[in-house]
Amino acid sequence: MHLILANPRGFCAGVNMAIESLERALELFGTPLYVYHEIVHNLHVVDRFRRRGVVFVDRIEDIPSGANVLYSAHGVAPAIRTAALQRSLRAIDATCPLVTKVHLEAVRFAKEGYTILLIGHEGHDEVAGTLGEAPDSIRLVQTAEEAADLQVPDEAKVAYLTQTTLSVDDAEVIISALRKRFPHIAGPSRDDICYATQNRQEAVKDLLPEVDLILVVGSQNSSNSLRLAEIACSAGKPAYLIDGLRELQTNWLRPDQTVLITAGASAPEDVVEELVAFLQDRYSATMESRTIREEHVSFPLPRELRLVSA
């Protein structure tokens, strides 16, 4: 067996910032410390923090008045911030800056009277937060078929935004359908799909022709991880999304295969390393690391933590 490790893979700058924020908040404030939604969509990360006393909640009302709460990397709607203030919560905003960019675009388009078409997946934490910025102005669009049938109050005042963790190719299909339906549609000044999502997808696309199978390390509720597996499947290659070694089924594998290993933007590297070590031991697998894009992006800790640290 031969293993190819895709680079970049694993943690992106937004995930690194969110996890470092939670680590720093634990140091400063101790427990109980509450996080609104999962800090990132990864089972291992959430379980490790839960064992240290972090409490993850899906309702702001479940947090005691006056407690410390950290907002996840996916962002929150303004109504959540208001509810937190009403409960006198000390809020730490670990929203990824690339998600904040989409929120600000939504606010701007809404103020200018646009109907905003948000391309994304219903129920995703990031989508819920963006919808909450301008609920009367935003409509969720999930397919090209939906895009083709849309009716809006003023076809001259339509704009689109996208969830940051979508498949670049899938988003482009819907954007093309929107442009066909609304020739004068406005869009973001820069692509909303985040650099890390695009880079990980590009690495998979570039390396797929060389491999027989792909293993994607990531959780089922991680949008960007799901997209990596879908890209491989759409190219006719078997792909499996696994949280880690425990979910690996050896009947997927043959000892003569070339296997591509990547990881979603919220998957820890030590989980990848455990998987690689098993395959090397079980199949005497050789390994090479292939870099498609270099990444040198970093985000500062939230202002609330920088002020306390100072």
Residues involved in catalysis: 126
Q: Name the maximum alpha-carbon separation found in the chain.
A: 63
DSSP 165: T
Number of C-alpha atoms within 13 angstroms, CB side, residue 247? 15
Give alpha helix (H) positions in 43-96. 43-51, 78-86
Residue among 55, 37, 46, 53 nearest 19 (CA): 46
CA distances from 172 to 142, 175, 301 (A): 12, 5, 32
Helix (H, G, I), strand (E, B) or coil at 237: coil
Q: Which helix (H) or strand (E) holds 250?
A: none
- Alpha-carbon span 20 to 300, nearest angstrom: 10
Tokens representing 236 are: 């006719």
- Alpha-carbon span 168 to 93, nearest angstrom: 27
Number of C-alpha atoms within 13 angstroms, CB side, residue 18? 31
Answer whether 134's CB lies under 8 Å from 108's CB: no
Helix axes 195-207, 168-181, angle to 10 degrees: 110
- Alpha-carbon span 226 to 240, nearest angstrom: 9
